[in-house]
Amino acid sequence: MESAPQLQEWADLLPNEGIQSVTRLGLCLSPELGVEAWSRLVAEIVRVSGRSAGSRVTLTAWLGDLLAYGEGKYKGQIKEYAKAAGLEPVTLRLAKLVCSRIPVYRRRYTLSWAHHCEVGTVFKDPVEIEHWLERSEKGGYSKAELRRLIRAHVATAKASLVVDNAEASFGLMRDLRAMDRYLYGRPRVWTQWSTATCRRALGELEAVVDFVETLKARAAEVPCETADR
C-alpha cells in the first residue's frame, strides 16, 4: 500500500470540488457531485495513475468509487480509463463492483484493499460482507487465507443447495404420487364432470397443468433409446 506522503501528494493534485474525504481505501464523494466535476476527477486520477511507476492500489480504489458513483448517471469508458491509467479493464471493473458493494464507511482500515476485493467480488449481501470483513479483521487473515476460507464457504453453500434442491424434488415427486393415487381411485367422479366444472378445475390446477406441459416438452428433448437406459 502507498505511503502516507505519497497519498497526500496524490490528494493534493485532485480538484477539491465534490470530495468530502480522501483515504487509502477510497474517496468519500459529495452527493451533489456534478457531471463536470466528476469528469475532472476521473481525468486527474487517470492521469496520475498513468504516470505512477509504482503501486497504484489506492488510485484504483479511488477510480472504483468514482465509477460506482457514476453508475446510471454518466457514461463510463472503462476500457479507455484503464488504458490511460495503465491498468487492465478487468481491474477497474472489479474495483467498481467492490466499491458499489462496500461503501467507504464500511471499509476496515486494518485490512488491505485486496481483502476488500476478496469479499466484495464474492458477496453482495451487506450482512455477509460485514461478517467476512469483521471475521478477517479479528482473525488477522492474510489475503490468501481469506480467499481459502471464502472458497471453502462457497463450496459448502453450493453443496447444501444441491441437497436442498434434491429434497425439494423428492418432496414434489411424493406429492405427485399421492395425487395420482387419489385421482386414479376416483375416475367416476372426474370423468363425468361438466364442461363448466372442467374449466373451473383447470383454473384451480393451473400450476399443475403448466408443470405437466413442461415435463412433456422436456421429455420430448431426450431420444427414447437414451431415456430407457
Indicate the domain borders of the chain. 4-107, 108-185, 188-221
Q: CA 130, CA 136: separation in Å to the nearest integer?
A: 10
For the cut 50, the answer to whether the pLDDT of residue 225 exceeds it is no
**pLDDT at 130 (0 to 100):** 95
Q: CA 131, CA 97: separation in Å to the nearest integer?
A: 18
The angle that helices 113-120 and 89-101 make with each other, rounded to 10 degrees, is 80
pTM over 0.85: no
Those residues whose C-beta lies under 8 Å from the C-beta of residue 65, and which sit 6 or more positions away, are 26, 27, 28, 29, 99, 104
Candidate from 138-142, 165-169, 182-186 with smallest mean pLDDT = 165-169
pLDDT digits (tens, 9 = 90+) for 27-54: 999 888 888 888 888 888 998 888 876 6
The answer to whether 168 touches 155, Cβ cutoff 8 Å, is no
**pLDDT at 227 (0 to 100):** 39
If you average pLDDT over residues 18-31, what whole number do you get? 89
Residue reference for cell 480504489: 61
